[in-house]
Amino acid sequence: MSRKFSFTVPYAVPVEDLHRALTGDGVWHARFAEAETATFDLSHPEGAGTIRIHMTETARRDKVPAIVRTVLKSDLVLSRTDYWQALDGELAKGVFEATTTGVAGEMSGAYTLRPTAEGSEIEVVGTVKVKVPLVGGAIEPLAEQLYRKVINSERAFVEQWVTSQASA
């Protein structure tokens, strides 16, 4: 079984600035500079204004929820790939795919970046599926919560990075 989800992440920066940050290399190098258990790979498959970001991270065992630890077969490794397209007017589309090892899980969906009166926002719509008998349905909401947490952490980092670049 799978679980659908959607949420919107507000940004206090204009669409053009946010898109430039998300599709540039600088913010990602800064974001992962001190990440001890994470790796990333960047490419621009459709040229300037597009990006493919592949990220992996090994979760610290003490940060893994108890219900997940009970079914872990090995380290919990999260792998995520985001693809962002070029701006089309004031909109940009993207997609994401994520998988886990240690617990068989997958997540996928789409992003829409658009302007708001306060700056911009990214709408996230996706599906999560955890393939663990009996407890998979209980783990899916936790996976969605973790993804929201990651996206909001990225929001805070990207906003700060954009602001620091503007004042530099």
Rg over alpha carbons for the chain, rounded to the nearest Å, is 16
What's the pLDDT score for residue 140?
A: 84
Give the residue ranges of the chain where pLDDT is below 50: none
What's the pLDDT score for residue 14?
A: 96
pTM of the entire predicted model: 0.88
What's the pLDDT score for residue 168?
A: 67
The per-residue pLDDT for range 127-141, each reduced to its tens digit, is 999 887 667 677 788
Name all domains of the chain by residue range, CATH numbers in brackets. 3-167 (3.30.530.20)
